[in-house]
Amino acid sequence: MLAYIIRRILILIPTLLGVSVIVFLMLRITPGDPAELLLGERATEEALHEIREHLGLNEPLHVQYGLFLKRLMKGDLGETIWSRQKVWIEVKERFPATIELSVVALFISCFFGIIFGIISATKQYSIFDYLSMLGALIGVSMPIFWLGLVFMLIFSVNLGWLPLSGRISVGVDLEVVTNFYILDAVLTKNWGALKDVLWHIIMPATTLSTIPMAIVARMTRSSMLEVLRQDYIKTAKAKGLSQFTVTFKHALRNALIPVVTTIGLQFGVALGGAILTETIFAWPGVGKWMFDAVMKRDYMVIQGGTLFIAAVFVVINLMVDVLYAVINPRISV
């Protein structure tokens, strides 16, 4: 097991290096002068020269990448153009909000997706099977931004059940310990703030969970159907074991590997989809921060934020690989 984990960790090095090359080149091959994109067409030559010197844009491409890589090795993602704040500091301030939203959305999608998938597989061709798969098709087809706006119109504007935007209401006091508001409310035993925070996260998390939930449900169903046709499942049923034992003890564990792969990938998708969700619901996370950076043409924020999210996605894939070996020890061999 340890050798398997070490091999997977070593694979991260060339992967992250390749990601850094792609992120670096994507911004460099964008049409137009980056300095002019940042300052506008009416910027003076002196201002353009100053920003090029500051960003190292006057150097040859390979030298620019070398400087970029050198900064990365020190954990330096550069500094924002507008606030002159370190990109890493701003990421650290906003990332807990994005992770909190993505984790809650993934929990919703996994909980309902796996349950719907299991019931659909065990009740194949039933009315529940048809309805759940129809719901999955609708869920994976609806754009997040459209669904978010519909939820806001129904549950905030018309019914007034849920808050329209933000992480916490104005006037609600919460002692920030970790910057994960749900965890902070529990740690400080501030139950009023916990209720308010949960009330704020329901709508954006549900919006973000729709596509992963649909994909998890379909993958769970197909994987369970394949496993339930195996001979050892028939043997377990012939022994007189209950349907619950056969489904959850014998079938589900073997069906989980492709589902775990899907869940790991969907967490990365949730981080990417959080850009739209956070922008719609004014959620103060990395997604909205990067959207604002694109609008402001903040070169360093786009570069640093993209690389950071890509690195998180790669690390999540590593965790999924390790989880494979836990679910099925034969994989590590």
CA separation for the pair 1, 49 (Å, rounded):
54
User: What was the pLDDT predicted at 329?
Assistant: 61
In tens digits, the chain (333 residues) has pLDDT values of 677 677 777 777 888 788 888 877 877 776 666 666 666 667 777 777 777 777 677 777 777 788 778 777 777 777 777 677 788 888 888 888 888 888 899 899 889 988 888 888 888 888 888 888 888 888 778 888 888 888 889 988 888 888 888 888 887 888 888 888 888 888 888 888 888 899 999 999 988 888 888 888 888 888 888 887 777 777 777 777 777 777 777 777 778 777 877 777 777 777 766 778 888 888 888 888 888 887 777 777 877 888 888 788 778 777 777 776 666 665 555
User: What was the pLDDT predicted at 33?
Assistant: 65
pTM of the model: 0.77
How many Cβ atoms from other residues are within 10 Å of residue 91's Cβ? Answer: 20
Are the beta carbons of 206 and 101 closer than 8 angstroms?
no
User: What was the pLDDT predicted at 307?
Assistant: 81
Taking the domains of the chain in order of start, what are their residue ranges? Answer: 98-285
CATH number of 98-285: 1.10.3720, 2.60.40, 3.10.50, 1.10.3470? 1.10.3720
Helix residue spans in 29-44 (DSSP H): 34-39
User: What was the pLDDT predicted at 38?
Assistant: 66
User: What was the pLDDT predicted at 41?
Assistant: 67
User: What was the pLDDT predicted at 147?
Assistant: 86
User: What was the pLDDT predicted at 40?
Assistant: 66
Are the beta carbons of 198 and 134 closer than 8 angstroms?
no
User: What was the pLDDT predicted at 327?
Assistant: 62
Q: CA dist 88 to 74, 76, 80, 203, Å?
A: 11, 7, 10, 29
CA separation for the pair 292, 182 (Å, rounded):
25
User: What was the pLDDT predicted at 273?
Assistant: 65
User: What was the pLDDT predicted at 254?
Assistant: 76
Residues 6+ apart with CB under 8 A from 83: 90
User: What was the pLDDT predicted at 331?
Assistant: 56
How many Cβ atoms from other residues are within 10 Å of residue 259's Cβ? Answer: 24
